[in-house]
Amino acid sequence: MENKDLHFDTLAIHAAEKTDQNQALNPPIYMTSTFTFTDLQQADDTFSFKRKAFVYTRGGNPTINLFEARMAALESGVDSVAFASGMAAITSVLLSFVKNGDEILAHRNLYGSTFGATAHLFPNYGIITRYVNMSDLKQVEKSITPKTKVLYLETPTNPSLEIIDIAELSKIARNYGIKVVVDNTFATPYFQKPLELGADVVVHSATKYISGHGDVVAGVAISKDQEYIHRLKFGYMCELGGVLSPFNAWLLLRGLKTLSLRMKRHEENAMAIVRYLKNHPLVEKIMYPGLEEHPGHELARKQMTGFGGIVSFELKGDVETAKAFVRNLKLIKLAVSLGDAETLVEVPALMTHRDYPEEKLHEFGFSRKTVRISTGLEHPDDLIEDIERALKGVE
C-alpha cells in the first residue's frame, strides 16, 4: 500500500519497510563504517549518483535511511536527513540558508542551545539573528529586511508554550522569498504537521519524543524538496560530520512504533496535572495551550490535533519558591530533556536556558521562577500526589 493510504499509527510501524533477506521482523542494524564495490566502474557510478548504493555510513546507511524515510512519511515530506543531535540538525539547516551578511528572524522564545548558537556563535561568521514575538504577525512583517533569509520558530515554544500561526507566517515568508523552519519537537508529527501548513523545513530533537526512552541523542530535518534534502545531506551533514549512528537509528525506529500511544498518554497526564495546578492557591500562572484561557488555545486547536505533554507554570513568590518545589519532589526527576517515559522537571532559567540574559528574561516570554514539567507515562494519580506533597512542603 502507498503511504498516503495508511494511518499515522500504521506508518510509524511500516512506512518504507523493505523485506530482509532473512525475513526478520525488525530491520537489521548495519553496523559498518564502509561498503565495498565489485570494481572501479561500480564505484564511479555510485560516486556520480548514476547508481544508488552505499559508500560510507557518514553519507548513507540502510538503517539510517529507513529512519529518514519513515520520518519523512510521518511529517508529510519527501525525505529527511538524520543527524547526531537536535542541535546538529538545527544549526546545519540554518547554515544551509544563510551566509555572511544575512539575517535570521527568530521567535523570542527558543530552546536554550538554539538561542546560544544563534546569539553567540553565528555572529562570529557574520550571521545576525534578531528575536521578535512571532505571535504578532504584524511585528514579524515589520521586522523583515532585505537581509532576512529565514524565519525560525518553535511552536509550542520552549519553555513558555507559546503558539505561532505556521500557515499565516508561511504566507508572509513566501511574499518575501524567505524560508520557514519549524522546530516540531514538542508537538511531534502526531499532533502537528508544519510542512502541510506551509513550512519549508521541519526539525526535531529526536532525542525527545521520537525516541521516547531517554537512551538516544539524535536530530532530523524533513522537507518536501528533494533537491534541498540532497544538498543538506551531502553539503552540510556529511561535510560538518554530524552523522547519526546506525544503532541509534535502530533505537529511533523502535521508538516510533509507540509514538502515537505515548503522545496520547503524555497529553492525558499533562491535562491531569494542569487541572490540579489550576485550583491550587500557590500557583500564580500556568502555561499550557490546552487551557481555554491560554492566548494561543484557539490557534492550537486549529493547527494541532493535541496539546502535548509539556506543562510550564509559576508559583507565587520568587525563584526560591521554585527551587523549594523542585527540591521536594520525589517521584518526578530533576533533569534536562523531555519526552521520556519518566516525568522530568526543570527550572529553565537555571538549567537549559542559562544562555538568556537574566535581566531580559521577561522579553523572551518566561522568568527565573518558571518551572517546566515534561509529563511521562506514569499513572497520573501518582504524579499529582508527588506534586501535591512538594507544594505542601513549599507552603
Concatenating the DSSP letter of every residue in 327-388 gives HH-SSSEE-S---SSS-EEE-GGGTTTTTS-GGGGGGGT--TT-EEEE--SS-HHHHHHHHH
Cβ contact 94:149 at 8 Å: no
Residues 233, 263, single domain; the answer is no
Where is the domain boundary, 212, 234, 256? 256
Cα–Cα distance, 333 to 325 (Å, whole number): 12
Q: Which of 58, 193, 368, 372 is catalytic?
A: 58
Look at residues 190, 186, 162 and name the one whose alpha carbon lies nearest to residue 106: 162
Q: How many independent structural domains does the chain possess?
A: 2
pLDDT band at 81 (very low <50, low <70, confident <90, very high): very high
Q: How far is CA 349 from the centre of its chain?
A: 19
Residues 217, 364, single domain; the answer is no
Residues 239, 289, single domain; the answer is no
Residues 126, 61, single domain; the answer is yes
Query: Is 111 noted as a catalytic residue in this protein?
Result: yes
Q: 10 Å Cβ neighbour count for 342?
A: 16
Q: Which of 30, 79, 108, 111 is catalytic?
A: 111
Residues 243, 267, single domain; the answer is no
Residues 25, 137, single domain; the answer is yes
Query: Is 208 noted as a catalytic residue in this protein?
Result: yes
Where is the domain boundary, 256, 290, 325? 256
Look at residues 351, 343, 348, 346 and name the one whose alpha carbon lies nearest to residue 385: 343
For residue 310, give its domain range: 259-394
pLDDT band at 1 (very low <50, low <70, confident <90, very high): low
Residues 240, 341, single domain; the answer is no
Residues 229, 323, single domain; the answer is no
Helix runs in the chain, H state only = 8-14, 40-47, 62-74, 86-95, 112-116, 137-143, 166-176, 188-191, 226-232, 238-240, 246-256, 259-278, 297-303, 319-328, 380-394
Give, in degrees to the nearest 5, the angle at Cα 335 between 334 and 338.
120
pLDDT band at 5 (very low <50, low <70, confident <90, very high): confident
Q: Which of 183, 200, 340, 386 is catalytic?
A: 183
Residues 6+ apart with CB under 8 A from 153: 106, 107, 134, 164, 166, 169, 180, 181, 182, 183
391 in helix, strand or coil?
Answer: helix
Where is the domain boundary, 196, 223, 256? 256
Query: Is 254 noted as a catalytic residue in this protein?
Result: no
| pLDDT, tens digit, 9 for 90 and up, residues 139-195 | 999 999 999 999 999 999 999 999 999 999 999 999 999 999 999 999 999 999 999
Residues 90, 207, single domain; the answer is yes
Distances (CA, A) of 112 to 2, 80, 197, 355: 39, 24, 26, 6
Query: Is 276 noted as a catalytic residue in this protein?
Result: no
Residues 263, 248, single domain; the answer is no
Residues 250, 264, single domain; the answer is no
- The CATH number assigned to the domain holding 364 equals 3.90.1150.10
Q: Which of 70, 149, 179, 208 is catalytic?
A: 208
- Note the pTM of the prediction, 2 decimals: 0.96
Q: How far is CA 3 from the centre of its chain?
A: 23
Cβ contact 263:306 at 8 Å: yes
| Residue 35 exposed, middle or buried by CB count within 10 Å (0-12, 13-18, 19+) | middle
| pLDDT, tens digit, 9 for 90 and up, residues 89-113 | 999 999 999 999 999 999 999 999 9
Residues 76, 186, single domain; the answer is yes
Cβ contact 370:159 at 8 Å: yes
- The CATH number assigned to the domain holding 22 equals 3.40.640.10
